Amino acid sequence: MYQVKFFEGDYYARQLAANQAGAVAYVEHHFNSSSSTQANYAVVVVGANASQVSRNWGRWYAKAIAEQFGTDVGGDQGILVGGWNGRGDGNLKHTQMPAVLLEPLFASHPQQADLIRSASGQAILARILVESIRRFFPQGGLIAFSVGHKYKTSQPDDRGADLAGGGSEADYAELVLKKAAQLLTDEDDKPGPRKLRLMRGDQLLFETVVDEDAVLSWSPDRNLLFIPD
């Protein structure tokens, strides 16, 4: 149902190639960075010419990340339209399909850098990305992946921001996208009925089907998740 292709070269060339390949969605993965070790929010850049689908997709993803990791959402409810001062707009604005540039965590934040380096953190990031794609592109199709700061013709040595404690943004963005690609194309992980999952880290503890329209409610005082009949 889904095919995934990684696009390389300069960002403009990647977008044109994704257009020519007929991709239905375009994802460029980055991590954010600050000189403050406290900066702590999830944000998604969408092009200045972004469709409403791109905007909704970006907001959904940023909110899901923030809920998962207990962070804030940045920008305008999770998205920066056209990037900050145009930064990032060129990475997306030439696409002919919905496109997002993800900055889910801060490479400069020591705890978040640990998450980015960990296999479980990468798995969670990949899973949320896959859930977002399944939600916004349920018909399937070719998904274009682009690793930010890597495989650029003009700057082949670019790897993006340094992670606090070691490593480079681009190498870990690539790992997340590879895991997401595997999940998306995995035959056993095709979209089906709505499921409720209980997870510890990337380990699935419990899974059950719930009604599409059911409104789940969480009681923090009772530690109870209530599923109506």
Partner 1 sequence: MMRGRDQQRWRLPAMWRLAMLLWLAMLPGAGAAEPGRTGTTLRLFFPNQRLNPDQSDCSAVFPVERPLAQGQQATRAQRALQQLLAGPSASERAAGYHSIFSAASADLLRQVRIRGGTAYVDLADFRSRLPGSSSSCGAAEFRSQIERTLQQFKRIKRVRYAIEGDPRRFYDWMDEPCSKSNGYCGWLAGSQR
Please, which residue, 45 or 181, has the CB nearer to partner 1? 45
CB of 173 to partner 1, least distance (A): 11
- Select the residue interacting with partner 1 from 3, 19, 34, 118 (CB under 8 A): 34
- Select the residue interacting with partner 1 from 5, 9, 56, 90 (CB under 8 A): 90
Site for partner 1 in 170-229 (CB under 8 A): none
- Select the residue interacting with partner 1 from 77, 96, 120, 154 (CB under 8 A): 154
Q: Binding of partner 1 at residue 55 (CB under 8 A)?
A: no
Please, which residue, 163 or 184, has the CB nearer to partner 1? 163
Q: Binding of partner 1 at residue 96 (CB under 8 A)?
A: no
Considering only 17-25, 60-68, 159-167, 186-194, which stretch makes contact with partner 1 by CB under 8 A?
Answer: 159-167
Pick left, alpha or beta for residue 23 (phi over 0 → left; psi -120 to 50 → alpha; otherwise beta).
beta
Distances (CA, A) of 70 to 67, 90, 104, 159, 179: 5, 30, 12, 27, 22
CB of 92 to partner 1, least distance (A): 10
3-state helix, strand, coil in the chain (%, to 5): 35, 25, 40
CA distance 25 to 141: 8
Please, which residue, 72 or 207, has the CB nearer to partner 1? 72
CA distance 168 to 108: 11
Q: Binding of partner 1 at residue 87 (CB under 8 A)?
A: yes
Considering only 18-26, 82-90, 118-126, 209-217, which stretch makes contact with partner 1 by CB under 8 A?
Answer: 82-90
Given CA atoms 153, 155, 158, 160 in this order, what sign does their dihedral have? negative
Q: Which of 14, 17, 25 is nearest to 184 (CA)?
A: 25
- Select the residue interacting with partner 1 from 20, 38, 203, 223 (CB under 8 A): 38
Given CA atoms 187, 189, 192, 193 in this order, what sign does their dihedral have? positive
Altogether, the residues listed in the chain come to a count of 229
Q: Binding of partner 1 at residue 112 (CB under 8 A)?
A: no
The answer for residues whose C-beta is within 8 angstroms of residue 36's C-beta and 6 or more apart is 108
Q: Which residues bind partner 1 (CB under 8 A)?
A: 11, 30-36, 38-41, 43, 45, 72, 74, 80, 83-91, 93, 103, 106-108, 149, 154-155, 157-162, 168-169
